[in-house]
Structure 1
């Protein structure tokens, strides 16, 4: 596993910790923003669920992205979320010296039922990282709607977005 992949993911996960540190629990758990009326905490939890599925399925070569834990403690307790992020980061760091020259079975529902696709560990982790960024973008919209200003450079932006267009949140 390339250390650069794990480093990029850990930097992105650190952004979630920075976000959690910058807002209070009421903002983290607020469910008043439409159209989905989900909380920032639920988006953080959802992004972490993706990493959990990878971590829990890697040993058996059976990663099922539909088998998410949906731990509501992470959705409602910012400290629990930060602790869980750190646990994920520690686990990911342990993959740096792992041979990734094999394919993993990854199951997901693409809209017409479950399908299993072959991935490398690096590719599924890259997808998980992009997935987290996507949810950070949703969180950015939620914060704007709630009139909460938090500045985390690049938060919610894909790294390929031109720097002049990035404003953070």
Structure 2
């Protein structure tokens, strides 16, 4: 299995951990300022991003703006876990050539544009994107007074361990 796929699966294990340790009420709680978003909305967003990549068409086109946005996933740990498992199984079951060129459609703020990526670059972006959202989830968890037994949750793998331990 490719190292990028392995890294992605390792990152997504953190979503499994969250979902097994939260209630539906905690998952959907929107009481933490300043954005009043829920842990579930961030998890759904992470999974939608991967879903877009995995839904590349036969012409190797990926549309990052074509997210499913199934809000039921944001409110139910079981539905979120089912969605996560679909993403994980699709990553495991397919033999990806990560060097393939894919055309990625995204909206960077000025309307949709199409850009050439490698599949590796798209998956790498999704992995970093997930970690970024884990940092936001960590902030929400803190606001809800929920602690996880994962000292590097929400930290990029390149963050020095000393910095993680001091926080």
TM-score, structure 2 as length reference: 0.93
Aligned length: 167
CA apart distance, 1:101: 3.4
Distance 1:9 1:84 in 2: 15
User: Is structure 2 residue 52 aligned with structure 1 residue 62?
Assistant: no
Provide the residue aligned with 1:139 in structure 2: 137
User: Is structure 2 residue 151 aligned with structure 1 residue 153?
Assistant: yes
Distance 1:40 1:98 in 2: 30
Distance 1:79 1:62 in 2: 31
C-alpha root-mean-square deviation of aligned residues, in Å? 1.7
Provide the residue aligned with 1:90 in structure 2: 89
Instruction: Kindly provide the CA deviation profile for residues 104-146 of structure 1, in whole angstroms up to 9, marking residues without a partner as x.
Output: 0001111111111111111100100110100000000011111
Give 3-state SS (helix, strand or coil) of 1:159's partner: coil
Distance 1:20 1:48 in 2: 13
Distance 1:151 1:100 in 2: 33
Instruction: Give yes or no for contact 1:19–1:152 (8 Å, CA) kept in 2.
Output: no
CA apart distance, 1:58: 4.3
Instruction: Give yes or no for contact 1:40–1:142 (8 Å, CA) kept in 2.
Output: yes
Moved over 4 A (4+): none
User: Is structure 2 residue 36 aligned with structure 1 residue 37?
Assistant: yes
Instruction: Give yes or no for contact 2:28–2:38 (8 Å, CA) kept in 1.
Output: yes
Distance 1:47 1:115 in 2: 21
Residue of 113, 116, 127 corresponding to 1:115 = 113
Distance 1:100 1:148 in 2: 37
Instruction: Give yes or no for contact 1:105–1:116 (8 Å, CA) kept in 2.
Output: yes
Instruction: Kindly provide the CA deviation profile for residues 58-108 of structure 1, in whole angstroms up to 9, marking residues without a partner as x.
Output: 43422111111101121111111111111111111133x333333100011
Instruction: Give yes or no for contact 2:99–2:120 (8 Å, CA) kept in 1.
Output: no
Instruction: Give yes or no for contact 1:18–1:152 (8 Å, CA) kept in 2.
Output: no
Q: Structure 1's 24 and 61: CA in aligned 2 closer, same or farther, altered over 3 A? A: same
